[in-house]
Amino acid sequence: MAYRLVEIGDGRSCELTRRCSALNNYSAKADINGVCVQLFTENKTYADMWSDNFYHMSDSVRSHARIYCLTDPDTDLHAEYDVGNRTMFLFNFDYYGWVKSIALGLAGNILEDAHSIYSVHGAALDIDGSGVTLIAPSKTGKTTQSWGLLRAENSHLITDDWYFVSFGCGRPRVEGSERNCYIDADIGDVWEEYRPLVSEVRFDNKGRGIGNVRWVAGEGSVIRGTGMRYVFLLKRDHDDPSVVTRMEPDDALEYLKSHDYCNPHQLLRDEARMARREAFFRRYLTECETFMVNTTGTAEQTQAAIREVLRERCGA
């Protein structure tokens, strides 16, 4: 986790809430898989990006979780978490990506604890009726490859970053978390189809911005959910000559565990929660077909390797 996280009690939480109430904050509510997360910030850019990023929640719905952004030159970059009241105080955060990931983590805690709905930090698509997910450590090409797959015929994006999973009858059900994506400025350099999208996005100080892929892929290109069938784990290992390897569930689980489930924004990591997450991923991987993809080649070569696997199964 790139920021320090401290759990606080009621006294400190009340003190910070009073402090925040004196600020001229912008406020916006997000509907994250049915959970209402409310942002309070003096940063108008963050408020605007939040409103573009997430599905909107009705103003008549009370918030289930809250995020307050504060600027304080007398302290460092860190977050203070009132777990009981599901309230997060963010000090000196200069990166919107962390703000939105914390919102997803807060919603994820509520869904996990109350509804047995689990979070996956990964991309998800529906390709000709089959669910496909890419889960990967940072800088191994997850976003690049997911946007590459969106160019396939009969392909629909659910999310390029985070989704929620529930079990019932049939395949694991996945639901997206965001209305629009927080994209990198260079996505149009990799896949030229997205250059018109990049030209319309206002990018922040980190070279990222909120993009509506529907502008270039069509109104029906983003859907809310699917039944998951194929899992692609990514790695970048120059000492391994293999490109695509089919994985057994136990081996896939060990890879995910060794990389903290590829999710640096698990806000609570007590023993009971980590045991539940391990059990979740074991079942998830058992109910899907899993492959490891080594992304040492070019983006185009990796895309071709993934599509070759899918072509045999769902015609990508």
What is the average per-residue pLDDT within 48-56?
A: 97
Query: For the packed helices 96-115 and 271-286, what is the interaxial angle rounded to 10 degrees?
Result: 90
How many residues does this entry show for the chain?
Answer: 316
Considering the chain, what is the average pLDDT of its residues? 96
Give the pLDDT band of residue 2 (cuts 50, 70, 90).
confident
pLDDT at position 315? 66
Per-residue pLDDT at 38 exceeds 90: yes
**Share above pLDDT 70 across residues of the chain, in percent, rounded to a whole number:** 99
* Closest C-alpha among 78, 64, 60, 61 to residue 16: 78
Amino acid symbol at 13 = S
Q: Give just the sign of the alpha carbon dihedral 204, 208, 209, 215.
A: positive
Average confidence (pLDDT) over 141-146:
94
pLDDT, one tens digit per residue, over 79-106 is 999 999 999 999 999 999 999 999 999 9
One-letter amino acid for residue 151 of the chain:
R
Q: Please give the order of strands across the beta sheet that includes 65-70.
A: 4-7, 78-82, 87-91, 65-70, 35-41, 26-32, 55-56
Are 36 and 61 spatial neighbours (Cβ–Cβ below 8 Å)? Answer: yes
pTM score over 0.85:
yes
Q: If you write DSSP's letter for every residue of 21-88 in order, what string do you get?
A: HTS--EEEEEEETTEEEEEEES-HHHHHHHHHHSEEPPTTSPPSEEEEEE--TTS-SEEEEETTTTEE
pLDDT one-digit tens code per residue, 290-303: 999 999 999 999 99
Domains identified in the chain and CATH numbers: 4-115 (3.40.449.10), 119-314 (3.40.50.300)
